[in-house]
Amino acid sequence: MRKFIEKIQIAFVKQFPLLRLVFAKLALSGIRYNFGAYLYAGAICVLMIPISIFEKIFALCTRRVVIGQVGIIVTSRCTLKCKECSALIPYCTQPLNKTLNDILNDIDILLDVVDYIYVVQLLGGEPFLHGDLDVIIDKLSSSNKVAAINIVTNGTILPNKKVITAMQNKKIRVQISGYPKTLVKNIDGFIDILKLHNVKFNHSTSLKWRHMGDRSFKNRNNGELKELFELCTSTLCNTLIDGEYHICPISGNGMSFGVIPKNATDFVDIRSLPKMEARQSMRKFFSRKVFSACNYCDGNTIYSKIIEPAEQVITPIVE
Ligand code: SF4
Ligand code: SF4
């Protein structure tokens, strides 16, 4: 029954970008991982359907490009090395070397190409390791094309004064991944700082991870790739990395870090395409269900094995 409700919700959320904002808010309010929460979320989903259908038809008629949720990778550096990191950070052999200007430029291009984004996630690695995070936050929060910004952190790095000020914007919420205290020793101090400065946050203490397989080639046919794609919830977090708009972090980071083969047909290169072509490519991109990246992954689905979060890689992979 629970799996059935989850499956319906995933299908709806994939269809209607507006629902991603609703679910992001529900997830950030800490209700995600219990049965009652799923029923509650399902009821909200049903209530939102008429509005979402209207929005979808309006977007189709006006050819608007609307994004439900996109993660922007601000750094590939991290303070942890989680074995099952869905961003593949410990397996990064070609670290991102982006200047602040590169990131701001990509944000400018993205905001020029699309009409609206419900949720932007600022991701790493560990985003608080980025020395100019406040500038990135200010840039996004000042845009009237962005509804909400989540900063996803493991809580190991205390934000500086400039970042705290930037995070006081009402669009911002800090999403703290609830890793064991043995890994994140200063988590209480981190939370105290956010509370002291009235920064909105959620600490996901009931965090569960799913095993997404290894990165070997799986030799799936198009039908199998499509089936996996339909079930995979990671498709709800598109990824912008180095000017490339990807379906998920495994695709974006995997290709960028050299962990899976790069396939230019899997992403939209927003840096090199003229605006109207980029818009056209984005529309096509959102109607696709077959991606080569899904041949190097088992997806994040309701059938995937639940695993302990944040198990650390014992032998360092990247020297
Ligand atoms: S904290 Fe772990 S899961 Fe998060 S980015 Fe770092 S290595 Fe990946
Ligand atoms: S199955 Fe495909 S969409 Fe899902 S996480 Fe893997 S690569 Fe991404």
Tens of pLDDT along 137-171? 999 999 999 999 999 999 999 999 999 999 999 99
Whether pLDDT at 316 is above 70: no
3-state SS assignment for residue 231:
helix
Mean pLDDT of 180-189: 93
Answer yes or no: is pLDDT of 9 > 50. yes
Q: What is the dihedral of CA 181, 158, 91, 70, to 10 degrees?
A: 110
Residue 160 near residue 138 (C-beta atoms within 8 A): no
pLDDT digits (tens, 9 = 90+) for 92-103: 877 776 889 999
In the predicted model, what is the mean pLDDT of residues 307-317?
Answer: 81
At 318 the pLDDT is 47
Q: What is the pLDDT of residue 207?
A: 76
- What are the pLDDT digits (tens) for 53-90? 777 787 788 889 999 899 999 999 999 999 999 999 99
- pTM higher than 0.75, yes or no? yes
Convert the pLDDT of each residue in 237-253 to its tens digit.
Answer: 899 999 999 999 999 99
Q: Is the CB of 123 under 6 A from ligand 1?
A: no
Strand residues in the chain grouped as ranges (E): 66-73, 116-123, 146-153, 172-177, 201-204, 209-210, 238-241, 244-246, 268-269, 306-307
pLDDT at position 37 is: 65
Ligand 2 contact via 235 beta carbon (within 6 Å)? yes
Report how far residue 178's alpha carbon sits from residue 204's, in angstroms, rounded to the nearest whole number. 5
Q: What is the pLDDT of residue 319?
A: 41
Q: What is the pLDDT of residues 228-239, one digit of tens each?
A: 999 998 998 899
The predicted pLDDT at position 133 comes to 97
The alpha carbon of 126 and the centre of ligand 1 are apart by a number of angstroms equal to: 7
pLDDT tens digits, 261-291? 999 999 999 999 999 999 999 999 999 999 9
Rounded Cα–Cα distance for residues 88 and 271 (Å):
23
Burial of 136 (0-12, 13-18, 19+ CB in 10 A): buried
Residue 121 has pLDDT above 90, yes or no: yes
pLDDT given at position 214: 94
**Domains in the chain, CATH or no CATH each:** 1-62 (no CATH), 65-307 (3.20.20.70)
The answer, yes or no, to whether residue 308 has pLDDT greater than 70, is: yes
Q: Which atom of ligand 1 is nearest to the CA of 156?
A: 1
Q: How far apart are CA 239 and CA 120, in angstroms?
A: 10
Ligand 1 binding pocket mutation candidate from 78, 174, 190, 209 (most atoms within 8 A of CB): 78
Q: Ranked by mean pLDDT, which of 43-52, 292-301, 309-318 comes out on top? A: 292-301
Q: Which of 187, 188, 196, 145 is nearest to 167 (CA)?
A: 196
Quick one: pLDDT at residue 199?
96
Q: How far is CA 114 from the centre of its chain?
A: 17
Task: Give the C-alpha distances (Å, rounded to integers) separating 8 from 25, 70, 113, 289.
Answer: 19, 22, 31, 17
Mean pLDDT of 298-304: 92
User: Which of 237, 244, 224 has the alpha carbon at shortest distance from 295?
Assistant: 224
State the chain's mean pLDDT as an integer.
Answer: 88
Q: Which of 220, 226, 235, 253 to mutate for ligand 2's pocket (most ligand atoms within 8 Å of CB)?
A: 235
Q: For residues 261, 114, 136 and 267, what is the CA-based torsion angle, rounded to 10 degrees? A: 0
Q: To test the ligand 1 pocket, which listed residue (72, 79, 82) has its Cβ within 8 A of the most ligand atoms?
A: 82
Ligand 1 centroid, distance to 77 Cα (angstroms): 9
> Ligand 1 center to residue 127 CA distance, Å?
10
